[in-house]
Each structure stands twice: as C-alpha cells, then as structure tokens.
Amino acid sequence: MAEAAEWVRVECRFGSLFSYRIPDFNSFYALASPLPSPSAFKLALVASAIEGTGSAQVGGALFDVVREAPVLMAPPDTVGASRVLVKRLKKGRVTGGEYLGLTVSFGIREYLHLGGALSLWIQVPPDAVEPCLAAARFIRRLGTTDSLCTVRAEAGVPPDRAICARRLSDCHADLAAVRGRLSLPLNDLGPKATLEHFAPSGGKNVTAGVLNSEMYVLPLTIAKQGANWMLWRRVPFD
C-alpha cells in the first residue's frame, strides 16, 4: 500500500511589496491578488529546483510530482493594497513587423502590503518531501520580479483550513462563507501541462488542459478603503 502523502508548509515573508496580477486581468489595469495562483507557486518550486541544482531533469521530475498536487493558501492577518500609475516601456513596432526602440505607455499597477507571512501548503508523496523542501528554500520571489521574499519551509505541518482560501465550487452550500469575502479567479496546472509549456524562451502554446482557472473565496473582508487604497482583514471560515 502506498504511503500517505505529506503536507509541506512554505512561509513567505516579503521585504517590501507583493504584486501578483489577477490572471486574465488587463495588464494596463493590473489589480493584484493577495494570494498567488497554485500554478505560480508550483512553477516557483520547479524554477528554484532548476536554479539550485543546475539540472533541468531535476526540475522536470519535481514538475511531474507537483503538477496535480493539492495546494492550500492562507493570507496574513492584514493585507493593504494601493494602486499607482506607472510608466511602461515596450518595444516599438515598425513597418514589416520589426521592433525598433521603445515606446512609452501608462497603466495602473496594484501593490500589496502584507501584514505578516503568506502561508502555502502543498501535499506530496513522502519521497518528494525533501526535494520539495530544498526547492522551496531557494525561492526568492513570487509574483513580479520586485516581489522579493525569504522562505521558511517545513514538513509535517497540516494546514489550518479555516484561514485558507476555498474554491467557490466548494462553498455553494454555504452562502455565508462567500458573503462579504473577496472572490477572484486563480489558475492551477492541468493534467496536460508539461515543463516545456513554461520554458523561458516562450515554450509551447498554452492550450486547454494546461492551465485551469477557478474562482476562489479568500478569508478576507474590507476593513477600510479610500480612493486608491484598501485594507483587508482576515476573517476565518467557520
């Protein structure tokens, strides 16, 4: 009989701000999610495994383990959000499809001030616990390139489900769990996903079954808000 899977807990603390654009939101009005998508967390583990070992094979083996592994996520006690106008530089298109120079545009970017650690759990087979822990300790950022963090990882610590985000599909029988709480779409890896789909050089086209989007309900309610800022407080589920 196969051994029971174990939970690995990853605690991320950000040195300054955190920003992970809500999937499929327009990049010119990039609102942030207080939690990364499960797919973003899994890909961060795989990228760290490759960077830490210098081996794409090690990363590929870990990808196969985490692809369909359960993930639970908990925000800190408080999350502050502020929206800023940013200048964006992008390649300028010229006749013939060539790119020359840079053009300037503007957009809104939301940054989050996390009032504590962001906690993530992933459930993996016993023989994958140590590779998962090693990869987690190499994670240096989540979200945007300036969302820098330090990580503490440990095994055998089960999640506190009362403070973890829940799939909206699991809350249909409990409308009170949804009312007043933040709901947004997040992605997870699908059964057809391969490491080649996410290669830095562009990879394969992302088709059906590679990324699955699902609505999540976060244990966060609005405490205060202004014209371009908001403060959420964590309210555990019953």
Q: Distances from the Cα of 108 to the Cαs of 33, 104, 105, 147, 212, in angstroms?
A: 14, 14, 11, 17, 26
pLDDT at 180: 92
Give the global pTM: 0.89
pLDDT at 26: 82
Q: Give the closest residue to 36 by CA, choosing from 208, 235, 187.
A: 187
Q: Specify the DSSP class assigned to residue 95.
A: T
Burial of 23 (0-12, 13-18, 19+ CB in 10 A): middle
Task: Please say whether the beta carbons of 34 and 182 come within 8 A.
Answer: yes
pLDDT at 1: 32
pLDDT digits (tens, 9 = 90+) for 44-79: 999 999 999 999 999 999 999 999 999 999 999 999
Structure tokens at 189: 């890896």
Task: Please say whether the beta carbons of 231 and 79 come within 8 A.
Answer: yes
Burial of 83 (0-12, 13-18, 19+ CB in 10 A): middle
Q: For the chain of 238 residues, list the mean pLDDT of each consecutive stretch of 10.
A: 81 94 87 96 96 92 96 98 86 65 84 97 97 95 92 95 94 82 96 88 70 96 95 95
| 24-32 contacts, C-beta under 8 A, 24 or more apart | 24/185, 24/213, 27/107, 28/105, 28/107, 28/108, 29/107, 29/108, 30/107, 30/108, 30/109, 30/110, 31/83, 31/108, 31/110, 32/81, 32/109, 32/110, 32/111, 32/112, 32/143
pLDDT at 160: 95
Counts of helices then strands in the chain (DSSP H, E): 4, 12
Q: Specify the DSSP class assigned to residue 51.
A: H
Q: Give the closest residue to 228 by CA, choosing from 22, 35, 29.
A: 29
User: Which CATH code, of 3.30.750, 1.10.12, 2.40.10, 3.30.70, is assigned to 6-90+102-161+224-232?
Assistant: 3.30.70
Q: What is the CA radius of gyration of the chain?
A: 19
pLDDT at 176: 82
pLDDT at 27: 79
| Distance between CA atoms of residues 9 and 123, nearest Å | 9
Q: Specify the DSSP class assigned to residue 141.
A: B
